[in-house]
Homo-oligomer: A and B are copies of this chain.
Amino acid sequence: MSRQPRLIAADWGTSSLRAWLLDDQGDILESRAEPWGIQQLPDGDFAGAWRRIAGGWRTQYPALPALACGMIGSRGGWREVPYVDCPAAPEQLAEGLVEFDTGTGPLTLVPGIMQHSNGATATLPNVMRGEETQVLGALERQPALRDEALLVMPGTHCKWVTVRDGRITDFTTHMTGELFAVLREHSILGRPAREVATEASEAAFGDGLDVARQCGAAGISGALFSVRSRVLAGELAVEHSLEYLSGLLIGEELRSVLVGRDSCPPLMLIGDDSLCRRYRLALARFGIDDVQPMADAGIAGLWRIAHTAGLVSDRGH
């Protein structure tokens, strides 16, 4: 029996556009990827990019639904999709879908989630677009996480998402990846390292983690400059200084999240292998072992949302 195409699924973010033709089990029949993130598109030509990536599938299977998640639904994207409120279950995301005509058939966009500020507990507002789909995908793949879990998605903006009873109940954003990038490229901490060949060093990364831990409640405000001063004092090789900086920043993120917690719910890392590995090493340093990483869960999440919304029939899955 040949596998039938059922859904065109896409993850269209800030830096890339990936699309898949999925069969009636949600498995991949064909894959395409282009570096056409919403900030990289020549002339902001969303329609042209979509035609080039999905046009062939559209011609062959004109009736297929198409579903995309990510920054494509933001104000700077193709079509702004209002956020749904937190807490959010798959049903709320399905209700918030927005469909429009692309010129290459209809396209449905997944909404992001907004957590509103809460005066009583001084919660700050937070937003995500794309990560909600990763979370639903992870819960599809590991149903045991639905009761209660903390899902961590390292990256430019690392999201820490709390799940209870299959719903996203709250989340925070840590700009650790962006902080690292701007300090490496534009600060005095990165300048000397840019003039040499940077070397991987788990020891220097670990030193950074340890210093962040030892800073305790003071945080790393007064320790960040040690990326420079330890090089000047001969305690740190300039080739390893960015590893040390990475340790300081990730260490501060973990310290911040874990402070005041007596226990931690089951924890899952989702995303890029090498970054997840860094977070695993760091979590172990903070006494949290046995954290399992999961590669990209976007496809499973898109399939789940398409299903909940009735875009694909009940035959699959």
Contacts and interface: CB of A to CB of B under 8 A. Distances in A.
Interface string A187-218: 11100000000000000000000010010111
Contacts of A229: 124-127, 173
A172 interface: yes
Secondary structure at the A interface, as helix, strand, loop or mixed, is: mixed
Given A256-B218, A256-B219, A233 B125 contact: yes
A242 B116 CA distance: 21
A308 interface: no
B256 A117 contact: no
Contact of A172 (B117, B182, B186, B222): B222
Given A114-B233, A229-B173, A256-B218, A223 B127 contact: no
Given A125-B235, A211-B124, A187 B175 contact: yes
A308 B122 CA distance: 54
A237 to B, nearest CB: 15
A259 interface: yes
Contacts of A211: 122, 124
Interface string A143-184: 000000000000001001000000000001111101100110
Contact of A116 (B178, B216, B220, B233): B233
Contact of A125 (B172, B174, B185, B230): B230
Interface of A: 114, 116-117, 122, 124-127, 157, 160, 172-176, 178-179, 182-183, 185-189, 211, 214, 216-226, 228-230, 232-233, 235, 252-253, 255-257, 259-260
